[in-house]
Amino acid sequence: MDNNQGINEHSKEKQLADFRVDHSGEILTTNQGVRVSHTDDSLKAGSRGPTLMEDFHFREKMMHFDHERIPERAVHARGFGAHGYFQVYEPMTEYTKAEFLQDPNVKTPVFVRFSTVVGSRGSADTVRDVRGFATKFYTGDGNYDLVANNIPVFFIQDAIKFPDVIHAIKPEPHNEIPQASSAHDTFWDFVVSTPETAHMVMWLMSDRAIPRSFRMMEGFGVNTFRFVNDQGKARFVKFHWKPKLGVHSLVWDEAQKIAGKSPDFHRRDLWDAIEMGDYPEYELGVQMLEEESEFKFDFDILDATKIWPEEQVPVKIIGKMVLNRNVDNFFAETEQVAFHPGHVVSGIDFSNDPLLQGRLFSYLDTQLIRLGGSNFHEIPINRPLAPVHNNQRDGYHRMAIDRGVVAYSPNQIQKNTPQPAPDTEHGYLHYAEKVDGRKIRERSESFKDFYRQAALFWNSMSLTEKQHIVDAFIFEVGNVLDKLIKQRVVDMFNNVDSGLAKQIAIGVGANPPAQPGQTAVTASSPAVSQEKTLKSPQMRMLI
């Protein structure tokens, strides 16, 4: 059975249409539909008397206003979204049984949310930061969320340290300063105390952290997943979004000025492009590895602080995404959309990447507090196009009106339905990976190389890109007050490149390293250099 039959690029728009309301020209009512005759004065005991508790219109109006703001995301609070569609170029049957990756004629509806990580909802768009690039595919087999960033690696290797890195990079708790910036003591104290951050910090100090536009920004799944085909054969996979306009950034001085003049720069750019019909396009690529190749590299493929260099593991382009429709209401769609890397469909599975394993718990837990309970999947923007049938009931904000007396399994009253899907009906089967080991809090020795890929990144940069990285280090570390932390930054990044460390030391008033670090990496990966990424013909004319 092909569950994608009847699913097309307009399906989500049609579903959302049932929830849209145009209030123009209508009579004012309460939320219960009672017509309101007066809304400028509360009900009082006399014109100068106390307000009466029985004024249900006043109480409803104030109650709703008091609760209009839901908790903002702890990270990725400032975001902007758009609707579109995804279309695979050719059947991927050899690699995965994921139904939305089979038929080139099917346009799967998507919703994409771009975001910054550190700042609050009110921060500026052009700060130096990682950008989120989260895509929800409304497939015929259910929703699939590809929760990506614009940088292919992350700060930490194990999710247990995620609260630490975020607490360190957020504004310092005693004075709530600085907003949306990593240029302060607690972040760099964490960096020098956690050498696994070295590679990510190199990317963060590069031009990648100040993109020119959401339309000109790569996306990376960061974690290692699996493709599984109909025969049960699995391959390790990493996901890439490649913008058709090429990859472009602001320079730091430009970003600073824009933040002052137009803090909504990226939002407005995306909105205006779609409104004008200049639809952003991205190609989806995958890096795939046979399971037997898991240990053939000088890095661990499950380590989220490492890339799979594209020169060693080429990116196969498999499809295209087009963003062609802006949201009707920012709060209802962009703010209430809920992503989770555990939202997968048959044919996509997980690896033992310890950062991914923690994310599978964290994201779901987050939605429960942020969106008010277990029924966040019933909010229109999160509602799948695939039918939903199970025995889950009740809870905050339940929208479904479940009929019948059965809410358990097995049962006889309802002929044991809803029942598990047979193999022929796209039932999700977890990959049968053999797992055997002692319970232990320990990191694999293969994860303990912290500097070689950071050096690889530095070697891959052009002279201009290197100078921008040096300038970023000097600005960021120059804002650190603790002289010992400044010195430790110099000493740490001496393990990446002694020339880089010397320039940082001169710029921040620390002691240059007495001798070079021991990494001594000479290899490079041209694919990570922004200057070497593919430029579209339109953009070549502008740069």
Catalytic residues: 76, 149
Work out the number of other CB atoms within 10 angstroms of the CB of residue 256.
17
- CA of residue 39 relative to chain centroid, distance: 42
Cβ pair 513, 494 in contact under 8 A: yes
Q: Please, which residues have CB within 8 angstroms of residue 276's CB and are 6 or more apart in sequence?
A: none
How many separate helices (H) and strands (E) can be counted in the chain?
Answer: 14, 10
Helix, strand, or coil (residue 110): strand
Report which of 463, 523, 533 is spatially closest to residue 499, judged by C-alpha positions.
463
How many whole angstroms separate alpha carbon 534 and alpha carbon 122?
33
Q: What angle do CA 125, 126, 131 make, to 5 degrees?
A: 75
Angle at 536 between CA 535 and CA 539, to 5 degrees: 85
Q: How far apart are CA 307 and CA 179, in angstroms?
A: 29
Q: 481 with 223: CB under 8 angstroms?
A: no
Tokens of 46: 């006399």
- Give the CA dihedral 506, 507, 511, 517, nearest 10 degrees: -80
The CA R_g of the chain, rounded to the nearest whole Å, is: 26
Residue 49 burial class via C-beta count within 10 angstroms: exposed 0-12, middle 13-18, buried 19 and up: exposed
Q: How far apart are CA 324 and CA 270, in angstroms?
A: 10
Question: Of the candidates 198, 158, 490, which has an alpha carbon nearest to the alpha carbon of residue 353?
Answer: 158
Tell me if 229 sits within 8 A of 95, measured CB to CB: yes
For residue 146, the cross-strand partners are: 135
State both tokens at 166.
């975020």
The DSSP element (H or E) to which 499 belongs, if any, is: helix 498-508
Q: Is 188 exposed, middle or buried (0-12, 13-18, 19+ CB in 10 A)?
A: buried
CB-based contact 319:107 (threshold 8 Å): no
Does 418 sit behind a cis peptide bond, omega within 30 degrees of 0 on the bond before it? yes
